[in-house]
Structure 1
Amino acid sequence: MRKFILLTALTASLFANDIIIKNSANSVEKTVSKIQNIVTKKGFTVFAIVDHQAGANKVRMQLPPSKEIIFGNPKMGTPLLQENMQAGLDLPIRILVYQDKDLKSKIAYRDGEWLVSEHNLSNRKLLNKMNFTLDNITTEAGRKQ
C-alpha cells in the first residue's frame, strides 16, 4: 500500500504545473508594452524589464526575443512577506514573454498556488486576488490590438 501511495504522489508531482503559459497575438515587444501599460494603470510599480535576448547578444550567444517584466504592489506583497519573509525570493511578480520555436509569442507566469505551497502561505483571499489579477493582465495583454 505504501508503494502505491508513493507512486501516486510521485506521478501527481510529475504532472503538476505551476507555470501558466498563454498565447499572445502580439509580438514579444508589443505584449511587454501592453503589460507595462496595464499594470501601471492598475497601480502597480514596474521595477524592471529584463531583456534576456539582449543579454545573450552581449556574450555573442543567441536567444529568440524574451523579456521579463517585474512589477508589484506593496498592498499585495507586504502581507505575504509579513507571513513569510522568504516569499521575497519570488516577489515582486514576474511575467516572462518570449518567442517559442514556432515563432509564436507566449506569456508565462507562476500560479499563485505555487507561492502558497512553496512558502507555506495562508492568505488565500489575497492569493486568489493575485491569481485573478494576473489572469486578467495576461489575457488582456495577449489580445490583438
Structure 2
Amino acid sequence: MIVARSDASVHDTATRFAEQVRTSGMTVFARVDHRQSAMSRSMALLPNEVIIFGDPKSGTPLIQCAPSAGIDLPMKALIWQDDDNQTWLGYNDPAWIAERHGAADCPAVKPLQQEMRKLVEATLQQ
C-alpha cells in the first residue's frame, strides 16, 4: 500500500481527492464512511473513508492483462485518522495489483501508477 500524509482532516482530504478524481475525468462510484456506519451501530471508530473510483480507459487494460484483476478494480483510496490525529491517504499500488493477478509485466501498470501519483499529489497540494 502506498501511503501519504495529509495536513487536512479525513473529510477534507477525501473531498479533495474526490474532486481531483472528477476533475481528471474519472468517476467516483462510491464514498464509504466507515465511521458513520460504525456510529449507526453505536460503535466508536476514528474517521475512516474509502473512495471507489475509476475510468474504463485506465482500468480495462489491466483487466485485459488479467481478468481476475477485476476484483481489485475500480481503484480505491483509503483516507483515515490514526491514534495521533494524523490523517493518511493510501491506495494499493497498481503494480501490486498486477503482480497479485499474475500480470506483473502488463503495460497498463505504469500509466495507472502515474495517474494515482498525480491524484494524490494534487490532493495534498490544496
- Contact 2:66–2:98 (8 Å) recurs in 1: no
Give the Å deviation of 1:82.
2.1
Q: Secondary structure of 2:43's match?
A: coil
Could you tell me which runs of 5 or more consecutive residues in structure 2 were left unpaired when the two chains were aligned: none
Residue 80 of structure 2 aligns to which amino acid in structure 1? Y
Aligned to 1:76: 58
Aligned to 2:71: 89
Moved over 6 A (4+): none
Q: RMSD over aligned Cα, in angstroms?
A: 1.1
TM-score with structure 1 setting the length? 0.82
User: In 1, Cα distance between the equivalents of 2:62 and 2:53?
Assistant: 15
Q: Number of residues paired by the alignment? A: 125
Moved more, 72-81 or 91-100: 72-81
TM-score with structure 2 setting the length? 0.93
Higher Rg of the two aligned structures: 1
Aligned to 2:3: 21
> For 1:1-145, what aligned pairs fall within 5 Å after superposition?
19-121=1-103, 122-124=105-107, 126-143=108-125, 145=126
Could you tell me which runs of 5 or more consecutive residues in structure 1 were left unpaired when the two chains were aligned: 1-18
Give the Å deviation of 1:83.
2.3
Q: Secondary structure of 2:70's match?
A: helix
User: In 1, Cα distance between the equivalents of 2:15 and 2:48?
Assistant: 13
User: In 2, Cα distance between the equivalents of 1:136 and 1:57?
Assistant: 33
Greater helix fraction, Structure 1 or Structure 2: 1
User: In 2, Cα distance between the equivalents of 1:86 and 1:62?
Assistant: 35
Question: Percent of pairs identical after alignment?
Answer: 34
